[in-house]
């Protein structure tokens, strides 16, 4: 116990100057907050439940809020749905490395379909230009820029989220903002994610993307056909990734990347149906997965069949 | 009281505040009015031409009945070929119409290998059976049986629309929607210009050649392939020189 | 209860009592903290783009500082064990500093995680933890648990001293023993969260966990040695040489283990030279023109080794300052 000292008016005023200065300094330090966009900080959103705990009424209110916010921001009235998985469906994707020419149309079709940020740029699919003789992704070149593709001495391997059956990103998320749905798709609840980026550290395929700042999407490029778990516009501070276009595929459609592929390298469908494209490819072609030793059990299979021909050996 | 106690009590009389106060005020002014040293390196938005990511088929094909736009009108094949252009041995170059056609389809050197001589609205199989243009796949199947089998189950080619045929229409692209039947390697296998590569946050300068070889021990496979590449490159430049002569 | 409130109020007022050196130091710390607050406000407004992190390097100084501070917090146990288990006389009056230091380090480390979050406004989502699979979830529990353990122990002991009462055995001794085990667990769980990533072969090896503990038990007591020397210099508190000597011994042993594990790590990766060792090659030698970390790792390893040699020289027993500083770079 220290002796109580007298507090004279002079010393009190001096102390007050110090305290006032301190308060002013703290207030000024916090002054950047005046530019804060509070649209994502409402009480409603603070109290919003986890996707798995929301009732239909809760979800309808949330979908309405999302549609309203998209309309306010982008002047486009979207249709935002919560699409549930189809029964008896397990998705799989097969990609023919013998056919891929590395044109990157899938990359940009995906960006257009999924309302990804154009600045800073987010692209779920990354095409690697691989040297022949290796499937070591360390050897892939992400930044190839040739006047024409394919280059004869390389093959092309697009990488996107493999929707792993035993996904490392799912097991590490501290708040279960990401999980595997019954149809195999690994989804992210953008309103639950706290942005710790542990899943991004855990993914062996570099499939996950983080919004380091508020995404910028030109209004004319907004795709109004949205779903809660896939392509509704995200906000800064949350993770996102390829969802096999679940807003399309859960209604029976093909994903956007497949529909633009000019060489038909991509194949998609229901693995549970033995007559489907992918099921037959898995039976008939020699498929493999990347980083199989990590036992992530991806749903994305690669295979090679007849290769791009060499013009000198077989002139037209 | 000793010296340190005197000092402490003086500070207890608020002298500390007199020093801290002004320092905090200067700091407050710095925060409020000082230079903005924030770095928000956002890349410029790159516009992608929507035509380059269209889901349409690469080639627009003829269906049954075949109609072509010739001499500023829509014509049926037999409109012209009823009365003329039915040579016994058709020429494959120097056309007056159909100038874009260049026949280069392996052992097929005769138009009648696929087109019916009498009825140009039909295709014809090797056994003489006529086929409509909608069934062109059956024609290609004659020689490309294994590719046809793969196409049937979905291993070759592309299916647009719905993966679940119960939910909506599927458009499985026919052979000629990718391959030109007269010179099949185009346009399906033509090299094209790739769309722009990634330009992600704080990416910095990247090498488009992507040299990442760091191994001190040489990989014999890479060595052999590089040697083949060099030989081919030399061959190619050698060939080009000949063409110029 | 009211007395406890008064006690807290008087503690608060006491933090404004001191001479000009104390005020200068606190002023400096406050100014630095305000710069940090300002920077974080900008981050809160604009997002983590204001940091240097990207999708390729998504965890940077925030997480590395968090890891460092968890280790430092765990190191308080190195003061507790000698006093409560081995009844070391010299450290008896100093163990409270270790526990207070643990509180400060844990608060700072949790703050580092808070500022690393993309959506800190959603911190309440952490009440719905994804256990047992998420190591970060376990980390939230063990860090908060350690904080409350130490807050209770320190709060109780200081309050008893304020009331001039002898502390009751059952209100603090069991907690101290729990804290000893808990301290090891906080750093182990932090190591687990980094090690349990199959997709990152440089991190996915078991030697990292003991290295974390060994380096924490060399860096933590080293920092405490420096702090105690500052306390000895600037206050009337008695810090004996035997106390510092014991801490020095702890640092020596822990640093020896740490360096041995470092050699094992280097050998394993560099000798077998698989594609997995590309990460270590990047760290030590850089890859092409990408060599930002080389200038940090070599001085760190060299300082550690020099520190170890300094500690082994018998003559240096009287000059512990520089030794401790070097070992901090673990």
Q: If you average pLDDT over residues B36-47, what whole number do you get?
A: 88
Residues C137 and C243 placed together within one structural domain of the fold: no
pLDDT tens-place string over residues C180-205: 999 999 999 999 999 999 999 999 99
Q: What is the pLDDT of residue B15?
A: 67
Cβ–Cβ of B12/C17 closer than 8 Å?
yes
Residues C190 and C238 placed together within one structural domain of the fold: no
Q: A155 and A130 in contact (C-beta within 8 Å)?
A: yes
Instruction: List the single range of C53-57, C80-84, C265-269 with lowest mean pLDDT.
Output: C80-84
Question: Which of C166, C195, C224 is the endpoint of a domain?
Answer: C195
Q: How far is C303 from chain B (nearest CA, A)?
A: 29
**Chains A–C, number of C-beta pairs less than 8 Å apart:** 158
Measured CA to CA in angstroms, residue C182 lies from B18, B74, B231, C292 at distances of 45, 85, 66, 36
Q: pLDDT confidence of C316, banded at 50, 70, 90?
A: low
Residue A111, H or E segment: helix A105-113
Cβ–Cβ of C30/A202 closer than 8 Å?
no
Q: A59 and A189 in contact (C-beta within 8 Å)?
A: no
Cβ–Cβ of C121/A46 closer than 8 Å?
yes
- Position with higher pLDDT, C330 vs C245: C245
Query: Which chain C residues are Cβ-neighbours of B12 within 8 angstroms?
Result: 16-17
Residues C215 and C323 placed together within one structural domain of the fold: yes
Q: Does C163 lie at the interface with A, CB-CB under 8 angstroms?
A: no
Question: Which of C195, C230, C245 is the endpoint of a domain?
Answer: C195
Residues C233 and C326 placed together within one structural domain of the fold: yes
Please name the residues between 196 and 235 in chain C that touch chain A, using a CB distance below 8 Å. 196-200
**pLDDT, mean over chain A:** 91
Q: pLDDT confidence of C56, banded at 50, 70, 90?
A: very high
The correct CATH number of A91-303 out of 3.40.630.30, 3.50.50.60, 2.60.40.10, 3.30.70.20 is 3.30.70.20
Q: pLDDT confidence of C116, banded at 50, 70, 90?
A: very high
Q: pLDDT confidence of A268, banded at 50, 70, 90?
A: very high
Instruction: List the single range of A72-76, A209-213, B121-125, C325-329 with lowest mean pLDDT.
Output: C325-329
Residues C176 and C285 placed together within one structural domain of the fold: no
Query: Which chain B residues are Cβ-neighbours of C20 within 8 angstroms?
Result: 7, 11, 16
Cβ–Cβ of A131/B21 closer than 8 Å?
no
Q: If you average pLDDT over residues A89-114, what whole number do you get?
A: 96
The percentage of residues in chain C with a pLDDT greater than 90, rounded to a whole number, is 58
Give the domain ranges of chain A: 91-303
Q: Taking 60 as the threshold, does the pLDDT of residue A1 lie above it?
A: no
pLDDT tens-place string over residues A42-73: 898 999 999 999 999 999 999 999 999 999 99
Q: Taking 80 as the threshold, does the pLDDT of residue A304 lie above it?
A: yes
Which residue from B25, B30, B160 is facing A21, i.e. has the nearest CB?
B25
CATH number at residue C94: 1.20.1630.10
Which residue from C44, C113, C118 is facing A238, i.e. has the nearest CB?
C118
Answer yes or no: is C18 within a domain. no
Instruction: List the single range of A128-142, B94-108, B139-153, C309-323 with lowest mean pLDDT.
Output: C309-323
Q: How far apart are CA C52 and CA A191, in angstroms?
A: 25
Q: A125 and A119 in contact (C-beta within 8 Å)?
A: no
Which residue from C46, C55, C281 is facing B40, i.e. has the nearest CB?
C46
Residue of chain C whose alpha carbon sits nearest to that of A26:
C34
Q: What is the pLDDT of residue B245?
A: 35
Residues C191 and C66 placed together within one structural domain of the fold: yes
Q: Does B132 lie at the interface with A, CB-CB under 8 angstroms?
A: no
Q: What is the pLDDT of residue B1?
A: 41
Provide ipTM, 2 decimals.
0.91
Question: Which of C195, C224, C240 is the endpoint of a domain?
Answer: C195
Answer yes or no: is C29 within a domain. no
Residue of chain C whose alpha carbon sits nearest to that of A139:
C275
Count of residues for chain A?
A: 316
Domain membership of residue C151 as a residue range: 60-195
Q: pLDDT confidence of A308, banded at 50, 70, 90?
A: low
Answer yes or no: is C111 within a domain. yes
Cβ–Cβ of B201/A148 closer than 8 Å?
no
- Highest-scoring range by mean pLDDT, A237-251, B31-45, C146-160: A237-251
Q: How far apart are CA C204 and CA C209, in angstroms?
A: 10
Residues C138 and C190 placed together within one structural domain of the fold: yes
Q: What is the pLDDT of residue C322?
A: 61
Q: What is the pLDDT of residue A152?
A: 82
- Position with higher pLDDT, A16 vs B187: A16
Q: C101 and C89 in contact (C-beta within 8 Å)?
A: no
Cβ–Cβ of C52/B202 closer than 8 Å?
yes
Residues C219 and C185 placed together within one structural domain of the fold: no
**pLDDT, mean over chain C:** 89
Number of structural domains found in chain C? 2
**Mutate: best of B15, B39, B166, B194, partner A, most A CBs <10 A:** B194
Q: pLDDT confidence of A120, banded at 50, 70, 90?
A: very high
Q: What is the pLDDT of residue A191?
A: 96
A117: closest CA among A210, A201, A16? A210
Answer yes or no: is C312 within a domain. yes
Q: How far is B35 from chain A (nearest CA, A)?
A: 12
Q: What is the pLDDT of residue A2?
A: 46
Q: What is the pLDDT of residue C88?
A: 84
Q: If you average pLDDT over residues B215-227, what whole number do you get?
A: 73
Q: What is the pLDDT of residue B13?
A: 54
Q: pLDDT confidence of B244, banded at 50, 70, 90?
A: very low
Q: pLDDT confidence of A287, banded at 50, 70, 90?
A: very high
> Would you list the DSSP string of C193-206?
HHH--TT-TTT-ST
Which residue from B13, B150, B221 is facing A8, i.e. has the nearest CB?
B13
> Would you list the DSSP string of B50-106?
GGGG--S-SS----SSPEEEETTEEEEHHHHHTTS---SS--SSS-SS-TT----BT
The percentage of residues in chain A with a pLDDT greater than 70, rounded to a whole number, is 94
């Amino acid at each position: 116990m220290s002796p109580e000292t007298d507090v004279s008016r002079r010393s009190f005023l001096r102390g007050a100057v110090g305290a006032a200065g301190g308060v002013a300094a703290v207030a000024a330090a916090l002054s950047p907050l005046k530019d804060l966009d509070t649209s994502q900080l409402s009480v409603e959103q603070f109290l919003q439940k986890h996707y798995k705990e929301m009732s239909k009424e809760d979800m309808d209110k949330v979908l309405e809020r999302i549609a309203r916010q998209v309309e306010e921001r982008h002047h486009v009235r979207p249709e935002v749905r919560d699409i549930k998985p189809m029964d008896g469906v397990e998705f799989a994707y097969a990609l023919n490395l013998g056919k891929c020419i590395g044109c990157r149309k899938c990359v940009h079709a995906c960006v257009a379909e999924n309302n990804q940020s154009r600045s800073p740029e987010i692209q779920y699919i990354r095409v690697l230009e691989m040297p022949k003789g290796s499937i070591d992704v360390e050897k892939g070149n992400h930044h190839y820029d040739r006047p024409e593709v394919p280059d004869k001495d390389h093959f092309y391997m697009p990488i996107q989220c493999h929707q792993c059956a035993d996904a490392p990103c799912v097991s590490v998320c501290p708040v279960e903002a990401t999980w595997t749905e019954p149809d195999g798709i690994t989804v992210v609840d953008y309103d639950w994610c706290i942005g710790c980026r542990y899943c991004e550290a855990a993914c062996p395929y570099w499939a996950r993307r983080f919004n380091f700042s508020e995404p910028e999407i030109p209004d004319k490029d907004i795709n109004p056909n949205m779903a809660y778990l896939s392509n509704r516009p995200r906000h800064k501070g949350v993770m996102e990734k390829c969802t096999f276009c679940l807003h399309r595929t859960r209604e029976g459609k093909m994903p956007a990347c497949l529909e633009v592929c000019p060489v038909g390298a991509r194949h998609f469908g229901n693995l549970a149906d033995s007559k489907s494209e992918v099921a037959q490819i898995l039976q008939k072609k020699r498929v493999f997965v990347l980083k199989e030793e990590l036992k992530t059990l991806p749903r994305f299979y690669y295979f090679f069949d007849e290769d791009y021909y060499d013009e000198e050996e077989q002139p037209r | 009281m000793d010296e340190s106690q005197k000092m402490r009590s003086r500070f207890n009389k608020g002298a500390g505040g007199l020093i801290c106060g002004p320092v905090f005020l200067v700091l407050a002014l710095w925060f409020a009015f000082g230079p903005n040293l924030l770095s928000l390196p956002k890349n410029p938005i790159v516009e992608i031409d929507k035509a380059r990511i269209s889901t349409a088929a690469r080639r627009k094909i003829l269906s049954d009945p075949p109609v072509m736009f010739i001499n500023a009108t829509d014509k049926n094949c037999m409109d012209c070929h009823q009365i003329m252009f039915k040579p016994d041995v058709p020429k494959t170059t120097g056309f007056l119409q159909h100038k874009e056609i260049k026949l280069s389809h392996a052992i097929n050197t005769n138009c009648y290998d696929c087109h019916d001589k009498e009825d140009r609205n039909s295709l014809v199989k090797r056994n003489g059976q006529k086929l409509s243009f909608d069934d062109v796949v059956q024609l290609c199947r004659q020689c490309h049986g294994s590719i046809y089998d793969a196409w049937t189950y979905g291993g070759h080619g592309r299916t647009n629309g719905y993966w679940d045929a119960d939910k909506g229409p599927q458009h499985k692209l026919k052979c000629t929607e990718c391959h030109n039947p007269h010179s099949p390697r185009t346009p399906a296998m033509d090299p094209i210009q790739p769309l722009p590569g990634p330009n992600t946050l704080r990416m910095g300068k990247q090498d488009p050649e992507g040299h990442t070889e760091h191994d001190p021990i040489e990989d014999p496979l890479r060595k052999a392939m590089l040697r083949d590449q060099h030989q081919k490159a030399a061959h190619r430049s050698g060939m080009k020189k000949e063409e110029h002569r | 209860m009211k007395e406890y409130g008064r006690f807290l109020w008087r503690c608060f007022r006491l933090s404004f009592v001191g001479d000009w050196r104390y005020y200068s130091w606190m002023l400096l710390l406050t100014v630095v903290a305000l710069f940090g607050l300002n920077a974080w406000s900008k981050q809160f407004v604009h997002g983590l783009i204001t940091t240097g992190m990207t999708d390729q390097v998504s965890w940077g100084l925030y997480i590395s500082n968090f890891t460092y501070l968890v280790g430092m917090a765990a190191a308080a146990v190195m003061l507790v064990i000698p006093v409560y288990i081995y009844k070391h006389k010299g450290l008896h009056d100093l163990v409270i500093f270790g526990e207070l230091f643990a509180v400060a380090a844990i608060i700072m480390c949790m703050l580092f995680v808070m500022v690393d979050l993309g959506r800190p406004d959603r911190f309440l989502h952490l009440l719905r933890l994804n256990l047992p699979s998420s190591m970060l979830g376990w980390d939230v529990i063990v860090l908060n648990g350690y904080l409350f353990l130490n807050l209770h122990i320190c709060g109780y002991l200081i309050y008893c001293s304020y009331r001039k009462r002898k502390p009751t055995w059952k209100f603090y001794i069991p907690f101290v023993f729990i804290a000893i085990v808990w301290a090891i667990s906080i750093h182990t769980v932090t190591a687990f969260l980094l090690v349990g990533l199959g997709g990152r072969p440089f991190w996915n090896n078991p030697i990292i966990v003991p290295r974390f503990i060994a380096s924490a038990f060399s860096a933590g007591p080293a920092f405490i040695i420096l702090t105690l020397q500052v306390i000895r210099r600037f206050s009337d508190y008695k810090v004996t040489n035997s106390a510092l000597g014991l801490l020095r011994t702890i640092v020596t042993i822990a640093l020896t283990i740490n360096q041995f594990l470092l050699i094992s790590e280097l050998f394993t990766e560099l000798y077998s030279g698989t594609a997995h060792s590309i990460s270590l090659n990047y760290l030590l030698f850089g890859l092409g023109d990408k060599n930002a970390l080389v200038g940090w790792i070599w001085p760190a390893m060299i300082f550690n080794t020099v520190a170890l040699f300094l500690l082994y020289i018998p003559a240096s027993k009287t000059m512990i300052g520089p030794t401790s500083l070097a070992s901090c770079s673990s």
